[in-house]
Amino acid sequence: MGKRKKKTFAERWTEFLNEAKKNKTKTFVYIALRVLVVLVLIAEIFNRNYNNVFLCVLTLLLFMIPGFIDEKFNIVLPTTLEIIILLFIFSAEILGEINEYYLMFDRWDDMLHTMNGFLCAAIGFSLIDILNRNENVKMYLSPVFVAFVAFCFSMTIGVLWEFYEFAADFFFKTDMQKDTILPVISSVIFNPDGKNVAVTMQINEMIVNGVTWNYGGYIDIGLYDTMHDLFVNFIGAVTYSIIGYFYIVNRKNDADSGNFARRFMPRMKTEEEIEEKRQQAE
């Protein structure tokens, strides 16, 4: 096979216009989010806030992931999934970090982690379902097991993200794992007899380097935030796993069933789609 010819700007622009005609909603979101990020980028450059400049550049790079997956791996992302991924990135980086929505709205982080659990379960589910339906792969997993694997995949991604947050806090002294003020503490350390029996103590104030902080409790450095994030990730993963289970069960009986589930499931391109793409690249 010959080396694939690199597409010119005109060819890529033509492809973009053709895609825009097919899906106007995705195109609008595609353009609007990038324009907003560029405006924020320019503002942060003038403000000389180079940390936020980096986040804007990172966001623009992350926006390229769906297109990269389509181009390199011949995987089609449903329009609904692609739009949610773009909105998720924008909500986490621009709104959450730069506009401080994590601090302004108590449930902003919960919403994103729940969505992450839901989407990762959908992606994990589709990976197994693709193998199940591939005639060249001699394996078949029951709907229950496919749903279970999807759930495990989503939870694993959630755990890896918490590892990333801890590493960032530990090595770069950030505060991704937000602290929590707790009014009581339960520990065997406070047992006067030295027994393995926890003693609960009320905490009214804390002293840091001689300075008294009257927050009505002590600082938990990330444990509660991590467990809370994993719990809402669990909710999202369970939700899609159940949806996916019924999608497989009802798929044979009703060809139109599972429309909602399929909106979040990536799929491999057909031979016809790959051939059409190859011809366009030549």
- pLDDT tens for residues 14-30? 766 677 777 888 889 99
Note the pTM of the prediction, 2 decimals: 0.87
d(CA 102, CA 176): 10
What's the pLDDT at 53?
Answer: 96
d(CA 215, CA 233): 29
H or E segment to which residue 263 belongs = none
Instruction: Report, as ranges of residue numbers, the positions in the chain whose pLDDT lies below 70.
Output: 1-13, 15-17, 135, 137-139, 252-258, 277, 279-282
What's the pLDDT at 1?
Answer: 43
d(CA 216, CA 269): 57
d(CA 216, CA 219): 10
What's the pLDDT at 133?
Answer: 75
**How far, CA to CA in Å, does 95 sit from each of 36, 105, 107, 178?**
11, 11, 13, 17
Cα-based torsion angle of the residue sequence 189, 190, 194, 197 in order, rounded to the nearest 10 degrees: -90
What's the pLDDT at 160?
Answer: 96
d(CA 165, CA 159): 10
- pLDDT tens for residues 88-106? 999 999 999 999 999 999 8
**How far, CA to CA in Å, does 52 sit from each of 22, 40, 112, 224?**
35, 9, 20, 27
d(CA 167, CA 146): 32
- Measured in whole angstroms, how far is the alpha carbon of residue 278 from the centre of its chain? 31
